[in-house]
Amino acid sequence: MSLNTPSNPSEKPSVLQVGRLPPWLEQRLNDEFDITLLDRQIDRAAFLRDDGARFTGVVTSAFAGADAALIAALPSLQVISNFGVGVDRIDLAAAKARGIAVGHTPDVLNDCVADMAMGLVIDVARRSMEADRFMRAGRWATGGGKSIGLGRKVSGARMGIVGLGRIGQTIARRADGFDMAVRYHSRNPVADVPWTHEPSLLELARWSDFLVVIVAGGAGTRHLINADVLQALGPRGFLVNVARGSVIDEPALVQALQQGVIAGAGLDVFENEPHAPEALFGLDNVVLLPHIASNTEETREAMGLLTLDNLRGHYFNQGQLVAAVPL
Ligand code: NAP
Ligand code: 8YV
């Protein structure tokens, strides 16, 4: 018998699922665990009060998270497995205080998130989405062949990366391939990388043609990109955010885009998802994506398998999560 297979299906561990997950993953979770979907409970508070003590695991996503109230309502909780690398919606302090292990999905999504960051850099600089709208409206033909205005060159430009972690380094390597000059800002310089650390975020913004944000979310980075940083990026600078919406002061960004304080922005994430500031919808100098940077068949499958493996590791391999969040 494999370590990953429970000896008796009726003894499957009880795991509470918060939010929806890809259907194939929900199927696999149901095969191996006794899953209850919190979203199906009409009166969540009553359900948690009556049934909360039976769950030893939670499976959630970067979108749904697990806040302090939920963790407190689950007195037997041992493990939280997150479908996603970002754990800003999980109350890590509450988990740590109770000795609850937290698993997530690092590394398997680096390529796709970095690819999308480069896609946004190109889209916003070369105006490809704007050009697509122009074509679909028939304006190329009706305008007698007159095209949209000029874009800006990406190859050889300066890219400042805010957060040189797993994904930030993957973006930097792609920027190298575009012959870009790369510098980065983080609290600590990263050892053994060829890119220059810039201790001042304002200086990095001043230097950059493209400022790409890929720090962790949460209280420590809330509104790190504020009006001063946007001012420093300046009227020829572009902002790309594939981290979390909370990292940007959104009203300040809207104003900066409306008033030409910066040249444009490419945004995959927003402060109040699934909502984005409506003021952005009418602006041509912004590219908006509905948080899809990791959404490929390949990466979602790898994330799902790691989400499963973290649970399996906890229950069937002596509490050894494959990818545990350091608490
Ligand atoms: P990571 O390896 O932990 O890197 C995070 C980086 O952020 C580190 O370089 C860290 O460096 C830096 N950082 C943290 N706090 C900072 C601060 N206050 N000021 C400046 N830098 C700070 O994480 P990762 O795997 O690259 O993922 C990064 C984030 O991307 C995730 O947490 C998630 O929110 C987001 N993400 C988004 C998507 C999407 O679909 N758009 C997909 C995956 C991930 P220091 O500690 O030295 O400061
Ligand atoms: C996903 C993400 O969109 O990994 C993260 O932190 O934000 C994205 O990969 C998310 O995990 C889906 O819930």
Element (H, E) at 134: helix 128-136
In sequence order, which residues have a C-beta less than 8 Å from that of residue 233 and are 6 or more positions away? Answer: 205, 206, 208, 211, 239, 262
How many Cα atoms sit within 13 Å of 88 on the Cβ side?
16
Pocket residues: Cβ below 6 A from ligand 1:
85-86, 88, 106, 109, 113, 163-168, 185-188, 214-217, 220-221, 224, 242-244, 268-269, 291, 293-294
Catalytic annotation on 273? yes
Using pLDDT thresholds of 50, 70 and 90, give the confidence band for residue 52: very high
Please say whether the beta carbons of 159 and 117 come within 8 A.
no
**Are residues 259 and 188 located together in one domain of the fold?**
yes
**Are residues 156 and 266 located together in one domain of the fold?**
yes
**Are residues 194 and 264 located together in one domain of the fold?**
yes
Residue 9 lies in a domain: no
Indicate the average pLDDT of the chain: 96
**Are residues 148 and 211 located together in one domain of the fold?**
yes
**Are residues 153 and 214 located together in one domain of the fold?**
yes
Alpha carbon of residue 315 to chain centroid? 27
Residue 241 CB–ligand 2 contact under 6 Å: no
Residue 21 CB–ligand 2 contact under 6 Å: no
Closest residue by Cα to atom 29, ligand 1, is: 216
**Which CATH number goes with the domain that contains 79?**
3.40.50.720
- Bridge partners (DSSP) listed for residue 57: 15, 79
Residue 324 lies in a domain: no
- How many whole angstroms separate alpha carbon 49 and alpha carbon 72? 10
Residue 323 lies in a domain: no
- How many whole angstroms separate alpha carbon 256 and alpha carbon 25? 41
**Are residues 35 and 166 located together in one domain of the fold?**
no
The average pLDDT across 280-294 equals 97
Model pLDDT, residue 10: 59
Model pLDDT, residue 21: 98
**Are residues 164 and 85 located together in one domain of the fold?**
no
Model pLDDT, residue 190: 98
**Are residues 124 and 268 located together in one domain of the fold?**
yes
Residue 286 carries which side chain, given as an amino acid letter?
Answer: V
C-alpha of residue 153 to centroid of ligand 1, in Å: 27
**Are residues 162 and 253 located together in one domain of the fold?**
yes
Q: Is pLDDT of 304 > 50?
A: yes
**Closest listed ligand to the CA of 107:** 1
Ligand 2 pocket: which of 246, 291, 292, 295 to mutate (most atoms within 8 A of CB): 291
Residue 322 lies in a domain: no
Q: Rounded to the nearest 10 degrees, what angle do helices 110-126 and 166-177 cross at?
A: 50
- How many whole angstroms separate alpha carbon 229 and alpha carbon 265? 13
Model pLDDT, residue 85: 98
Segment 66-93, tens digit of pLDDT: 999 999 999 999 999 999 999 999 999 9
The angle formed by the CA atoms of residues 232, 238 and 242, to the nearest 5 degrees, is 110
- Kindly report the pTM of this predicted structure: 0.96
Residue 251 lies in a domain: yes
- In total, how many domains does the chain have? 2
Segment 127-139, tens digit of pLDDT: 999 999 999 999 9
Listed residue (225, 212, 227) closest to 124, CA to CA? 212
**Are residues 89 and 194 located together in one domain of the fold?**
no
Using pLDDT thresholds of 50, 70 and 90, give the confidence band for residue 123: very high
Give how far Cα 35 sits from Cα of 59, 123, 221, 315, Å: 9, 41, 34, 14
Q: Is pLDDT of 295 > 60?
A: yes
Residue 210 lies in a domain: yes
Model pLDDT, residue 1: 31
Model pLDDT, residue 3: 40
Residue 214, domain extent: 110-288
Q: Which region, left, alpha or beta, applies to residue 65 given φ > 0 means left and ψ of -120 to 50 means alpha?
A: left
**Are residues 102 and 116 located together in one domain of the fold?**
no
Residue 199 lies in a domain: yes
Sign of the torsion angle spanned by Cα atoms 28, 33, 38, 42: positive
Residue 321 lies in a domain: no
Q: Which of 291, 300, 312, 314 is catalytic?
A: 291
**Are residues 272 and 125 located together in one domain of the fold?**
yes
Supply φ then ψ for residue 111, to 5 degrees. Answer: -60, -50
Model pLDDT, residue 121: 98
